[in-house]
Amino acid sequence: MTASQLARVIDRSDGRTDGENWTDNWQGKPYGAGVSIILESTDRAGAGPRLHKHPYPETFILRRGSALFTVGTDELVGRAGQITVLKVWGKRPSSRS
């Protein structure tokens, strides 16, 4: 098999070629990956996506600051340097700091 059959390189959807200020939602299923990656970038406390649910897990890589996640009736805080995985139907972030 060739490299193009075994791997995929996916560019940013906004056309930028750096890793800064990258906000995007990437679903791996169409590429055969069992992971979805959520990229958020904000400097404003309290900013972030509204509470929502998905029928698939999501993975958040926290590069700076923190994020508040609602999981059922509990809240979980993820901090810079951590990876947070929310399983199917967990509520997603409600705020960032």
**Tens-binned pLDDT, residue by residue, of the chain (97 aa):** 787 777 888 888 888 888 788 888 888 888 888 877 777 777 777 777 777 777 777 788 888 888 888 877 888 898 888 988 887 655 555 545 4
Model pTM score: 0.62
C-beta neighbour count of 76 within 10 angstroms: 13
Task: Quote the pLDDT of residue 63.
Answer: 81
**What is the homologous superfamily of the domain 3-96 according to CATH?**
Jelly Rolls (2.60.120.10)
C-alpha–C-alpha distance, residues 79 and 4, integer Å: 35
Distances (CA, A) of 46 to 17, 41, 68: 28, 12, 9
Task: Quote the pLDDT of residue 91.
Answer: 52
Task: Quote the pLDDT of residue 48.
Answer: 72
Cβ atoms 61, 83 nearer than 8 A: yes
Task: Quote the pLDDT of residue 93.
Answer: 54
Task: Quote the pLDDT of residue 89.
Answer: 58
Task: Quote the pLDDT of residue 57.
Answer: 77
Task: Quote the pLDDT of residue 92.
Answer: 52
